[in-house]
A and B are shown apart, each in its own frame.
Chain A
Amino acid sequence: MAEISRRVTLSWIAAASSSLAVTGCDSQSTSGGLWKDLPLEPIQAKGYGLDAKLTEPTVPWPLTLDPVQRETLRIAADLMLPADSHSPSAGTLHLDAFIDEWVSAPYPVQQKDRDLILSGLAWLDAESAQRFKLDFRKAGDAQRRQVFDAIAFKKNIKPGYEKPAEFFARLRTLMMSGFYSMPEGMADIGYMGNTPSVGPYPGPTQEALAHLNAGLTKLGLKPV
């Protein structure tokens, strides 16, 4: 069987080192307590087209976030998915660069996310300033958690916080997608696939079958 090379280099990590020079809009350090939809220019860059080289992927559009937005994202990433005994934090895996790649893309879904996420980053600063007279990134860990607590839990969203909560949920989805796609995230969650093997698929382990059968028995179903 041919050994197919597997690059582990991330396009967005490679891009991250050069991104600081390619800043787009200004820092959004608005104040006041309420959500504001930022007036953003649409991304004009070209996409990768209908016949991109699939074996050597590249990201053709420039990254557009400024250093302040990137720092805020890094802090948010570390808070959302912090280091624990299983894996490092999302910030250390450059998830801010992934979000930058995402919101800088010229496609409709990503442009919609750009509006939501950039406005959301500005809201984090505004909310933090209203509460603590500090930008989100300058606030302390406990203060940042207070801001997150207002928007992170589905059953605990107070009136007026719906839009920031929508921003948070979307950013969390993207952060989790990026995080668990990384080798560290896949190891944490236990994804063991994308690994070629010769011969018939071995199927579930004895341990996995025992767990299944315990579950089936509890449900009054026939074990396998």
Chain B
Amino acid sequence: MPDNKSVSEFEPDVVVVGSGAGGGIAAYVLTKAGIKTLILEAGRDYDPVSESAMLKWNREAPLLASSTPDKHFGYYDATVNGGWMVPGEPYTVAPGSKFRWWRSRMLGGRTNHWGRHSPRFGPYDFKPKSRDGLGMDWPVSYEEMAPWYDRTERLAGVIGANNGLENHPNSSPGVLQPAPKPRITELMIKAAANDLGIPCIPAHYAVLSRDIDHPDVPRQACFNASPCGRGCGIGAAYQSTTSVLPMAMATGKARIVTDATVTRVLTDASGKATGVEYFDKAGKAHSVRARVVVLAASACDTAKILLNSGKSGLANSSGEVGRNLMDTTGTNVRGHIPALEGRPRYNEDGMDVAHLYIPWWLYKEQAAGKLDFPRGYHYEIGGRFGAPGAGFSLGGMEDGYGVSLKEDARRYYGAQLSYTVRGEMIPNADSFCELDPDVKDKNGLPVLRFHWKWSQHEIRQIAHGIKTAKEMIGRLGGTVLTPDRTPEEAIEDGGVIIHELGTTRMGDKPSNSVTDGFGKSWDVNNLVIVDGSVFTSNAHKNPTLTIMALAWRSSEHLAERMRKGEV
């Protein structure tokens, strides 16, 4: 797909920086509107059809496909040339902070391996300050976003059901694809949850249960095998490399250049963007001119590019570039359930993703001031007859040796449940990124230095999540396997859930935000941002679907402005 040679003759109208969730959608929308679009990707070309390790057995990989410093999520994880460290592109963490930053360097970026969990933000999520006085309201409402969510879900292909719950919006009729049948473990979790007044419903995931017969880019329904994180060569699990990027290329209006690390947005004397500077693999600098620059490098890399573009950063009259950095809260509670011991075997792989999940359910209690934390969380639930590999475990029930050990394995296999908490973080003044004054990357540019602090809002939320998970395990007659920890110990470090957001937030005025509600820079008329950096808040809902829906809306708005000659 990429064409690294003929870029100089291409003369693009728009240059899009990044080919992941936001950049892929921008390329798709702009080229469909007839706009010549150049996509610059920092990583190498990547083809999931020939490169993803679908259906490989763990035993075929080094160390049973175990996690290593070369492949942090295991040998078969789709991530190329990345993980928690990228060679030549270090970052630093300020004393007293803990933060980790996951990146990949490949066409399609992190869409090649993401979790595909795709809940919509709801009406409360776009107006959080109006509801509880904390953070900031978005300049868009759910009502404005709803049609864009419909469109995005249709394009990506999202399984799920309309559950009609408070602040968990339904999709329009016919948009969602059918959800798979729940597993035994999920039905068990649901039984206990419902008994305790907690909902447990079909989850929304960007995985196809029906074929999509696109003339250029057909995609097959999930064949109920192989982990989505390995990448999906049949196109069932959404990633930009098997959908929007080839669709953009099919218009004839797109060019992709890989191994092109954008370092700066270039500007003229009036402050208008004229293009970008990028470095190729050999470390040679290039510049590309375009009418419009669209940034979709990921929240932190977009902030890095802007902070490196000009003295106090480009598009930064508000001083908000790099501020308001958010991640999702995370922890996990596991339990052993005697009622699941020795249960009848069947193929429990299904669509790899969770078929049910527990959405946040205590909005009314929060509104009534009955909880000591303001924002919600959800549980991603798990437990199944999983593929044996390096992590094979009977949940700590292993003991002794001999024939009895084999008997125990038969009895305890598939008898553990897991409750993974994923919750909302409210932006705070102590969590941000800035340029490191000393450390430079391979291209000689200052790297990011991260500052991080969870507030009591997040700590108390995690405490509630742990307590409630234990109650659900207890209701099933189970034993909690996770060691007792304080919520401060149990909460994952910043960045670990890989939902970095907020570093160029959108707002209703130039003084409090970097862009308007269409991702347009307040300061630079022809600079648009379409990645997670524009998030004003990070709801307790995984962000990628919202990144894509916003990118679509912002890209259409940009196309319209270009048509009218406003840019």
B-binding residues in A (CB < 8 A): 1-2, 4, 6-11, 47-52, 54-55, 57-59, 79-82, 84, 86-87, 98, 101-102, 105, 107-110, 148, 152-154, 169, 172-173, 176-178, 180-182, 185-186, 188-198, 200-205, 207-209, 211-212, 215-216, 218-219, 221-224
Residues of the A chain whose Cβ atoms lie less than 8 Å from the Cβ of B393? 173
Residues of the B chain whose Cβ atoms lie less than 8 Å from the Cβ of A173? 392-393, 398
Tally of B interface residues using CB under 8 Å: 88
Q: What is the 8 Å Cβ interface bit string for chain B, positions 181-223, against chain A (1 contact, 0 not)?
A: 1111001101110110000000000000100000000001011
A sample of 18 more A-B contacts (CB under 8 A), given A47-B68, A48-B62, A55-B51, is A1-B220, A1-B223, A4-B55, A6-B56, A11-B60, A50-B81, A58-B62, A80-B401, A82-B406, A176-B392, A177-B390, A188-B406, A189-B410, A193-B349, A201-B350, A202-B347, A209-B184, A212-B188
Q: How far is the CA of A54 from the CA of B190 in the complex (A)?
A: 37
Q: List 10 A-B contacts (CB under 8 A).
A: A2-B234, A10-B59, A11-B62, A47-B69, A54-B75, A191-B385, A204-B181, A204-B183, A212-B343, A219-B477
Verify A194–B71 contact, CB threshold 8 A: no
Which one of B180, B223, B230, B406 contacts A196 once the chains associate, using CB atoms below 8 Å? B223
Q: How far is the CA of A194 from the CA of B400 in the complex (A)?
A: 30
Chain B's interface: helix, strand, loop or mixed, by majority? loop
Q: Distance in Å from the Cβ of A7 to the closest Cβ of chain B?
A: 6
Residues of the B chain whose Cβ atoms lie less than 8 Å from the Cβ of A176? 392, 394, 398, 405, 409
Which one of B53, B58, B64 contacts A55 once the chains associate, using CB atoms below 8 Å? B53
A-binding residues in B (CB < 8 A): 44, 50-64, 66, 68-71, 75-76, 78, 80-83, 87, 178, 180-184, 187-188, 190-192, 194-195, 209, 220, 222-226, 230, 233-234, 339-340, 343-351, 355, 385-394, 398-403, 405-406, 409-410, 413, 475-477
Name the CB-closest residue of B to A154. Answer: B399
Residues of the A chain whose Cβ atoms lie less than 8 Å from the Cβ of B475? 219, 221
Verify B223–A198 contact, CB threshold 8 A: yes
Verify B81–A51 contact, CB threshold 8 A: yes
Q: Distance in Å from the Cβ of B235 to the closest Cβ of chain A?
A: 12
Residues of the B chain whose Cβ atoms lie less than 8 Å from the Cβ of A148? 401
Verify B51–A201 contact, CB threshold 8 A: no
Q: How far is the CA of A6 from the CA of B187 in the complex (A)?
A: 32
Residues of the B chain whose Cβ atoms lie less than 8 Å from the Cβ of A195? 225, 347, 349
Q: Distance in Å from the Cβ of A80 to the closest Cβ of chain B?
A: 5
Verify B402–A79 contact, CB threshold 8 A: yes
Q: Distance in Å from the Cβ of A214 to the closest Cβ of chain B?
A: 9
Name the CB-closest residue of B to A53. Answer: B51
Residues of the A chain whose Cβ atoms lie less than 8 Å from the Cβ of B389? 177, 181
Which one of B64, B343, B394, B409 contacts A208 once the chains associate, using CB atoms below 8 Å? B343
Q: Please name the 10 residue pairs, one residue from A and one from B, whose CB atoms are nearest each other, closest first.
A: A203-B181, A193-B349, A215-B339, A190-B345, A196-B223, A180-B388, A54-B53, A181-B59, A201-B180, A177-B392
Q: How far is the CA of A196 from the CA of B70 in the complex (A)?
A: 29
Q: Distance in Å from the Cβ of B150 to the closest Cβ of chain A?
A: 23
Verify B187–A197 contact, CB threshold 8 A: no
Q: How far is the CA of A35 from the CA of B348 in the complex (A)?
A: 43
Verify A203–B58 contact, CB threshold 8 A: no
Q: How far is the CA of A211 from the CA of B78 in the complex (A)?
A: 37
Q: Most chain-B Cβ atoms within 10 A of its Cβ — which of A105, A193, A212?
A: A193
Q: How far is the CA of A190 from the CA of B343 in the complex (A)?
A: 11
Q: Distance in Å from the Cβ of A21 to the closest Cβ of chain B?
A: 20
Q: How far is the CA of A193 from the CA of B183 in the complex (A)?
A: 13
Residues of the A chain whose Cβ atoms lie less than 8 Å from the Cβ of B190? 224
